[in-house]
Amino acid sequence: MKLILGKKLNMSQKYSENGSIVPVTIVKVGKGAVVQVKGVEKHGKNASVQLGFKEGSKHVNKAIKGQVKGLVDCPRLIEMQVQDTSVFEAGQIFGLDSFSKGEKVSVSALSKGRGYQGVVKRHGFHGSKKTHGAKHSLRSPGSIGSTDAARVFPGKRMAGRMGGTRITVSNLEIVDIDLENELVMIKGAVPGARNGVVEIRAEGDLKMETGQKKKEQEKISIKDEKEEIKK
């Protein structure tokens, strides 16, 4: 499983190879970093990797600031369960090059908040009669229960708060990727409001760059080689 966060920009259109117009959603994707690795030895079947992204809030406590120091600013932390944690190391950086054109992805985001809505908009009810003596009942829910029970059963579809929930849309196709500007174009509509944070998931592995610890080890080995040459 590979995961990356981005910011939804806007919708546009793009010509396909056969000349047809494809509606796309443009998502701005930055780089992520491995913040913490929870190995199998200590956590067993709950082994996971904690990933940090810059699409979070700047209002974080000092503990998290210290945890992600030198990796990401305004962190948003997400844990991803993996079977093999040996390939991950704290400080590794990954980006949009982990995904490819034509790949199928699942996109998750917080849906737009619609406020308090009636049953017609919230649940798609048909509504009551418009004519033949009907008055002020066009968008009413109708009967909400029988006389015998004398109560409304739990789970009854009624008016209430709509939107503001986590929505996941699967099997969306990546139409194009712009690595220079860190943009990904996804076919069709993507849940969430404009400038909202979206999660892009797909099968496969993340392509990691050299981590901070590996860089330090390389520097130490180079110093040792220079000292041996001097001797």
pLDDT per residue as tens digits for the range 8-34? 999 999 998 888 999 999 999 988 888
Contact 165, 192 (CB under 8 A): no
13 in the same domain as 24: yes
Cα separation of 65 and 61, whole Å? 6
pLDDT tens per residue, range 122-149: 999 999 988 998 888 899 999 999 999 9
109 in the same domain as 173: yes
176 in the same domain as 103: yes
30 in the same domain as 72: yes
223 in the same domain as 158: no
CATH code at 60?
2.40.30.10
158 in the same domain as 85: no
Domain residues for the domain of 87 are 2-113+165-230
**Rounded alpha-carbon distances, angstroms, from residue 222 to 3, 92, 209, 225:** 34, 21, 20, 5
126 in the same domain as 219: no
Among 162, 179, 194, the domain-final residue is 162
Is residue 202 helix, strand or coil?
strand
172 in the same domain as 158: no
138 in the same domain as 36: no
57 in the same domain as 11: yes
Confidence (pLDDT) at 218 = 45
pLDDT tens per residue, range 35-88: 888 887 777 778 888 888 887 777 888 888 888 888 887 788 888 888 778 888
pTM > 0.75: yes or no: yes
Q: Would you tell me how many other CB atoms lie within 10 Å of the CB of residue 98?
A: 19
174 in the same domain as 134: no
154 in the same domain as 59: no
- CB contact set of 5 (below 8 Å; sequence gap of 6+): 29, 30, 32, 53, 55, 76, 78, 197, 198, 199, 200
Per the listing, tokens 């806007």 go with: 10
Number of domains into which the chain is organized: 2
Confidence (pLDDT) at 38 = 85
